[in-house]
Amino acid sequence: MAQLTRLVAPLLALLLVGLAGLPAGAPKSLVGRVVSIVDGDTIMVRIGDRTEIVRYLGMNTPELRHPTLEEEPGGREAAEANRRLVEGRTVRLELDVQERDRYGRLLAYVSFGDMMINAELVAQGYARVMTIPPNVRHQKLFLKLQREARLLQLGLWRGTGRPPPEPGASATTPAQVGDTAPVS
């Protein structure tokens, strides 16, 4: 019996350390299956016995449905790109500092295999960088990918070198002129 205790005690200690949670600063992640696509930057994900509305962090796509605006140019294309990347797939949701937005949506960096979907949509030109502190973990990567998509005139940047205007924005707002200003 003493021999068994000597073998089990270290394993039990490791288990208890694991149950204590992730080290400070480590990203929290969840796994779920995408059950539907809302638009280019929002999906419905089944996590265990509940379904969550998940809003992609660090980027924004044109709206398909908006309470006061019509469908924005590029909205259908962004939603279709999102659908091709994640529909029906099991994805990993990496949370940042703030886990939910004011609408109760789960905020996440969404990955399928080795591909971060948020970054892929920016790289393909279907999304613009939109960083809202404190969720800034991948801001530098997103800005780099946006610059490349803009130079290559991909997606929303096609033919103009700039994205379509933000609703209600003048032609000289930082969100259109440069790609380094965080949007809040």
Q: What is the pLDDT of residue 159?
A: 78
Q: Which of 33, 46, 76, 105 is catalytic?
A: 105
Q: What is the pLDDT of residue 26?
A: 58
Instruction: Using pLDDT thresholds of 50, 70 and 90, give the confidence band for residue 167.
Output: very low
Residue 97: strand pairing partners: none
Six-digit token string for 113: 């295999």
3-state secondary structure at position 29: strand
DSSP character at residue 156: G
Residue 99 falls in the annotated catalytic set: no
Euclidean distance between CA atoms 32 and 92, whole angstroms: 7
Q: In the block, which residue shows the tokens 């600063």?
A: 25
What value does the CA radius of gyration of the chain take, rounded to a whole number of Å? 20
Can you say how many angstroms the Cα of residue 161 is from the centroid of all Cα atoms in its chain? 24
Q: Is the pLDDT of residue 119 over 60?
A: yes
Q: Is the pLDDT of residue 22 over 60?
A: no
Q: What is the pLDDT of residue 54?
A: 98
Residue 72 falls in the annotated catalytic set: no
Q: Is the pLDDT of residue 83 over 90?
A: yes
Identify the CATH number of the domain defined by range 25-161: 2.40.50.90
Range name among 18-27, 32-41, 136-145, 173-182 with the lowest pLDDT average: 173-182
Measured from the Cβ of residue 105, the count of other Cβ atoms closer than 10 Å reads 16
Domain ranges of the chain: 25-161
Q: What is the 3-state secondary structure (H, E, C) of 31-64?
A: EEEEEEEEECCEEEEEECCEEEEEEECCEECCCC
More confident of the two residues 106 and 67: 106
Percent pLDDT > 90 in the chain is 64
Cis ω before 73 (30° cut-off from 0): no
Residue 105 falls in the annotated catalytic set: yes
Q: Which of 52, 63, 72, 120 is catalytic?
A: 63
Q: Is the pLDDT of residue 66 over 50?
A: yes
Q: Which of 55, 72, 128, 150 is catalytic?
A: 55
Of 42, 55, 62, 79, the residue nearest 128 (C-alpha)? 62
Q: What is the mean pLDDT of residues 108-112?
A: 98
Range name among 4-8, 13-17, 93-97, 163-167 with the lowest pLDDT average: 13-17
Cis ω before 134 (30° cut-off from 0): yes
Cα separation of the two ends of the chain: 62
Q: 121-148: per-residue pLDDT in tens? A: 999 999 999 999 999 999 999 999 999 9
